[in-house]
Amino acid sequence: MTPQCEVVGSCATAPTAAGAASSYLVRGDTGFVLVDAGPGSLLAYLQAGHDLAELRAIVITHLHADHSLDLMAWAYRWTFPEVLPEIPLFVPAPEIRRLKQFDALFGIPTLPTMKSPIFQSWSVRGLPQDGTTWHEVDGLRFLSYAAHHSVPSAALRFEAKGGGVLAFSSDTGYCEAVVEAARGADVFVCEATYLEADSDALTGHGHLTARLAGQLATEAGVRQLVVTHLSDPAMGPQALVDAAESFRGPIHLAAPGLTV
């Protein structure tokens, strides 16, 4: 059975009228794994009818604000007005030091449970991005791969007990590691930041166009493609057209509430 993905937010850079920034739920045996915590994600999660007690782990693909800024909002809610049970928080291993700066900036020394909200809320674990180290959470197991981006960025490959595969590109340029992360996936959630962009944006900073997302999905042999992280939500219809030039399977446009 393929792990189910629910879109909480899909906007690049910041929330828009279309919803929150990057955040997704992967359904496990008893609850959810949250992939990314972009701004607006906590509110969108709660407004979708979910409870904090349903979360079994959080995975942050990289520490750009549109994927991680709401971590502190989640941590504040996790520790106040009551302290919730500890769950794992996964981030790219090289970024654990920088994650500590979140707590240094926003910790509240006069509240014992909120002196270091992130590290007091969750068990912080590093993602090696090696494509070989398995992590297991709530009946799911997943691998992390080194995406091509301006900071350490982890493409993810989730596998369910029955062998179904759900993959996330994270923010990335076109690279073999992301192809491997998505290889044969039943569902591939792939960034498509631009319709057109120059090499500085695509291979320097590390992003994809919708057309490149389609090409990557075809190379990886995925069954379904979800295009997400558009720089402007108005690009959606054209992004679907561009991705379909090179990918012949079903293509979905990520939007809050979409479940695949």
Please report the pLDDT score of residue 240 as a whole number.
98
Task: Look at the pTM and tell me if it is higher than 0.85.
Answer: yes
**DSSP string of 161-208, one letter each residue:** TT--EEEE--S-BS-HHHHHHHTT-SEEEEE--BSS--HIIIIIII--
Q: Answer whether residue 1 shows pLDDT above 80.
A: no
Query: Within 10 Å of residue 82's Cβ, how many Cβ atoms?
Result: 8
Q: Answer whether residue 52 shows pLDDT above 90.
A: yes
pLDDT for 64-110, tens place per residue?
999 999 999 999 999 999 999 999 999 999 999 999 999 999 999 99
Spell out the alpha helix ranges (H) of the chain.
41-47, 65-68, 71-79, 96-106, 117-121, 176-182, 199, 210-220, 236-244
**Would you call the peptide bond into 88 cis, given omega within 30 degrees of 0 as the criterion?**
no
The C-alpha atoms of residue 150 and residue 21 are separated, in whole angstroms, by: 19
pLDDT band at 2 (very low <50, low <70, confident <90, very high): confident
**Reading across the β-sheet that carries 55-59, which strands appear in turn?**
20-21, 5-11, 23-27, 32-35, 55-59, 87-92, 122-127
Provide the mean pLDDT of the chain.
Answer: 97
Q: Answer whether residue 254 shows pLDDT above 80.
A: yes
